[in-house]
C-alpha cells in the first residue's frame, strides 16, 4: 500500500503505444519528450500491466512552387487512423495536381479550403501537391454584338485563349485592342460572319476591348485617308491607301461581302446586286467609309 514502481514502455521502430491496461482497465501513460512511462502505486494484490502497440507509417507531404501543404508529414496508424492535409495555393496560383505515391487523387474543396484525407495506409507514402500560375483575361464589348467569354476569365500561364466575336445584324467591328494597345481588328479571321482571334503565350493579365458600330454610320469616319473610285461601277472598284480588310455593307446594315488586304487595291464586286453600298475600310489608323453605286 505504500510503494510504487515506474515502468518504461519502448515501442519498436515503426510502432506506437496505443493501449496500456492495468488489471484489465485502461490507464494513461506519461510521455516525457518521447520517453513513455507509467507508475503503479497502491496495489493490494498481484496485478498485470499490458502494453499494446500498433504499426504506423509516415505520410510525407511536399508542395511545388505556388503553394503550401500542411502538415509536412504525418504518422498514420495502419488500417485504423487517418489524417487530413490542407493545401493552400498562393495568390495567382491554383492547385492542379495532387499525387499520392504517384497516383492522381481528388481533393475536397470546401468553400475554397482545399483538403485531402489519407487513411488505411499500408506503407510509407508521399503526398505531392502541384500548382499552376494563372492570369486574368478580361473581355469587354459595347452594344452591337456578342463576344464569347465576356467578363473575367482565369487562364493558366501559356494557355491559349480564344476570342470569338459575332456582330449583330447591321453592325461591324471597328476595333479590338489588347491592354489599350494598337487596334488589331485586321488580325481577325472570319467565317460566316463570326470573327476569331487567339491569344497565345499568356504571361500577364490582359484586358481585351471590342468595339462595334453601325455599319452604315457614314458620319463616324476616322482620320484614315483612303480614296475609293469610281463611285459608280459595273463591278470593279479601286482603293488607294493601306488597309487590313474591307467590308461591303448594304444600306440596311448587312455585311454582304468581306475582302482581305490581298486584293492588290482592286475590289471585284461583279457578284453584287445593283444598288447603293457602303465600303468600310479598316486600317491600323481607323476606319474610312465611302458610298458606291453598283450598276
Q: What is the pLDDT of residue 246?
A: 86
Question: Given pLDDT bands bounded at 50, 70 and 90, which one contains residue 218?
Answer: very low
Residue burial 5-35, b: 16+ Cβ < 10 Å; e: rest: eeeebebeeeeebeebeeeeeeeebeeeeee
pLDDT value, residue 223: 46
For the beta sheet containing 67-70, the strands, ordered from the edge strand earlier in sequence to the opposite edge, are 67-70, 82-89, 113-119, 108-110
Q: What pLDDT is recorded for position 152?
A: 96
What is the torsional sign of CA 214, 218, 224, 230?
Answer: positive
pLDDT band (50, 70, 90) for residue 25? very high
Amino acid 161: pLDDT: 95
Share of the chain above pLDDT 70, in %: 93
d(CA 276, CA 249): 9
Q: Can you tell me the mean pLDDT for 9-31?
A: 93
Q: Determine the CATH number of domain 227-294.
A: 2.60.40.1930
Question: What is the DSSP track for 34-62?
Answer: TEEEEEEE---S---EEEEEEEEEEEEEE
* Beta bridge partner(s), residue 236: 268
Sheet holding 286-294, edge to edge: 232-233, 286-294, 275-283, 245-250, 255-260
Given a cut of 90, whether residue 259 has pLDDT beyond it is no
Q: Higher model confidence: residue 274 or residue 186?
A: 274
In Å, how far from its chain's centre is CA 38? 56
Instruction: Give the pLDDT confidence score for residue 49 in this predicted structure.
Output: 95
Return the top range by mean pLDDT from 116-125, 159-168, 240-249. Answer: 159-168
**Is the predicted pLDDT of residue 126 greater than 50, yes or no?**
yes
Q: Which CATH number fits domain 135-214: 1.10.3470, 2.60.120, 2.60.40, 1.10.10?
A: 2.60.40
**103-111: long-range contacts (C-beta < 8 A, 24 or more apart)?**
none
User: Domain boundaries in the chain?
Assistant: 4-56, 57-134, 135-214, 227-294
Contacts of 157 (CB under 8 A, 6+ apart): 132, 133, 134, 135, 202, 203
Mean of all residue pLDDT scores within the chain: 88
pLDDT of residue 1: 53
pLDDT of residue 153: 96
Amino acid at each position: 500500500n505504500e510503494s510504487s514502481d515506474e515502468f518504461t514502455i519502448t515501442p519498436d521502430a515503426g510502432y506506437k503505444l496505443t493501449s496500456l491496461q492495468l488489471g484489465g482497465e485502461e490507464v494513461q501513460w506519461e510521455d516525457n519528450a518521447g520517453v513513455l512511462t507509467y507508475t503503479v502505486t497502491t496495489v493490494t494484490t498481484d496485478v498485470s500491466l499490458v502494453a499494446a502497440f500498433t504499426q504506423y507509417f509516415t505520410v510525407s507531404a511536399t508542395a511545388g512552387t505556388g503553394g503550401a501543404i500542411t502538415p509536412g508529414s504525418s504518422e498514420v496508424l495502419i488500417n485504423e487512423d487517418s489524417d487530413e492535409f490542407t493545401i493552400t495555393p498562393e495568390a495567382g496560383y491554383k492547385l492542379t495536381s495532387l499525387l499520392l505515391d504517384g497516383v492522381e487523387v481528388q481533393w475536397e474543396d470546401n468553400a475554397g479550403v482545399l483538403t485531402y484525407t489519407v487513411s488505411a495506409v499500408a506503407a510509407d507514402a508521399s503526398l505531392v501537391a502541384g500548382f499552376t500560375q494563372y492570369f486574368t483575361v478580361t473581355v469587354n464589348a459595347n452594344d452591337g454584338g456578342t463576344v464569347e467569354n465576356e467578363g473575367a476569365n482565369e487562364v493558366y500561364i501559356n494557355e491559349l485563349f480564344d476570342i470569338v466575336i459575332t456582330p449583330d445584324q447591321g453592325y461591324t467591328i471597328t476595333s479590338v485592342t489588347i491592354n489599350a494597345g494598337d487596334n488589331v481588328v485586321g488580325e481577325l479571321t472570319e467565317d460566316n460572319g463570326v470573327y476569331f482571334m487567339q491569344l497565345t503565350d499568356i504571361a500577364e493579365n490582359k484586358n481585351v476591348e471590342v468595339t462595334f458600330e453601325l455599319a452604315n454610320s457614314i458620319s463616324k469616319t476616322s482620320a484614315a485617308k483612303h480614296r475609293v473610285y469610281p463611285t459608280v461601277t459595273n463591278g470593279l472598284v479601286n482603293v488607294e491607301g493601306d488597309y487590313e480588310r474591307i467590308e461591303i455593307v448594304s444600306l440596311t446594315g448587312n455585311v454582304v461581302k468581306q475582302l482581305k488586304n490581298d486584293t492588290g487595291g482592286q475590289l471585284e464586286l461583279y457578284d453584287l446586286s445593283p444598288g447603293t453600298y457602303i465600303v468600310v475600310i479598316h486600317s491600323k489608323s481607323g476606319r474610312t467609309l465611302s458610298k458606291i453605286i453598283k450598276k
